[in-house]
Amino acid sequence: MSYRRTAAIARKELLHIVRDRRSLGLALALPLVLLLLFGYALSLDVDRIPTVIYDQDRTPESRELVQRFEGSRYFSILGVVDNYRAIERGIDRDRVLLAVVIPKDYARNLANGTGTEVQLLLDGSDSNTASIARGYAESVVQTHAAALRAEGQNRKTGISTPPPVEARVRIWYNSELKSRNYIVPGLIAVTLMIIAALLTSLTIAREWETGAMEQLLSTPVRPAELALGKIAAYFLLGATDMFTALTAGVFIFGVPIRGSVVFLIFTSCLFTFGALSWGVLLSALTRNQTMAFQLGMVSSFLPAFLLSGFVYSIENMPGVIQVITHIVPARYFVTILKGVCLKGAGMEILWTEVLFLFLYAGVVFLITTRTLRQKVA
């Protein structure tokens, strides 16, 4: 392999990138646009749940329970209704997610010690949000019930009895439970995968369409030099996008980086090289820019978004799909990003993911050079 010929290919590709100012501007701006769009629009936080109260008892005891919901940041009390029909209309019009129904004999049953029930009505059209809202509501009711139980026992015995078991929760790595800290690192991986694959998916196909490839074939340049030269040119652009994405994640969204920055940059470069190699491979397999673009989008965006664990938990997927996710490189890079940013993990923990990214980049580059050799032949 000749360094001189590789550098010449890289210089030629860099000149082409600089001259195409529209594509250059789009490639530099798109990562930031995607991060801002998804980072602010996509949220897994469930708070300020629109809630209505149907208090059939209207006693001081029932108002205490209502105050529990009003004092929680997870619920937004829209008002009080006086029938089930109003609850149904609110849920049908997507104005209400939760309705708390307090029965007529609530206070009397509490005084008698016979126990009482509180009805929770939820809009189950969004099952995930409804499940989280139900958990929050049940927690409020159970906490209030425990306080009433302790108060009743205190009145009977005159002795304040502490609970036999006290749970003390410690939340590691994301103490504020912000979904943004979980989403943005995965979003960086998805963005880099899309940009890197699309940057190089058109390069060789474009040269076949314009006739420039025939001129390259008349030179002594080798397939490996051709592939490496093109990847090197676009790697500079990909590295800029990578720096933009990481900077935006830290300074705009406040995502912490608790691990080694050097390790994070190294793995990001490794992942970017593999994604660029994949784009060159698609461009070599197809001599049509439209086909190359479509294959690049389908093979980069969909797997990275759906099968990387970026939003959807891999553990909850069917067994067959879980097996397929092992060939998605974005899955391993998402794990690395979350491990470095949130947990402060390094090579001693994430060496398996790094090894897979290294194998992925090497195998894809090798297949690319063989494909180009066949095209040249």
pLDDT digits (tens, 9 = 90+) for 53-108: 999 888 888 899 899 998 888 899 998 998 999 999 999 988 999 999 998 888 88
Amino acid 181 reads N
Buried-exposed string 168-205: b where 16+ CB fall within 10 A, e elsewhere: eeeeeebeeebebbbbbbbbbbbbbbbbbbbbbbbbbb
Amino acid 248 reads A
Q: What is the pLDDT of residues 141-177, one digit of tens each?
A: 888 888 877 776 666 666 656 667 777 878 888 777 7
Which of 73, 279, 133 has the alpha carbon at shortest distance from 192? 279
Q: What is the pLDDT of residues 183-227, one digit of tens each?
A: 888 888 888 887 777 777 777 777 777 767 666 666 777 877 778
Helix, strand, or coil (residue 98): strand
Neighbours of 19 (CB within 10 A): 9
- Burial classification of residue 332, based on how many CB atoms lie within 10 Å of its CB (0-12 exposed, 13-18 middle, 19 or more buried): buried
- Structural domain boundaries in the chain: 3-43+178-376, 49-157
Q: What is the pLDDT of residues 295-353, one digit of tens each?
A: 888 888 788 888 888 777 888 888 899 899 998 898 999 999 989 988 888 899 999 99
User: Is-contact 64 110, C-beta < 8 A?
Assistant: no
Give the confidence band of 247 by pLDDT, cuts at 50, 70, 90. Answer: confident
Amino acid 45 reads D
366 backbone dihedrals φ, ψ, rounded to 5°:
-65, -45
User: What is the second-level CATH architecture of the domain 49-157?
Assistant: 3-Layer(aba) Sandwich (3.40)
- Global pTM? 0.77
Q: What is the pLDDT of residue 260?
A: 92
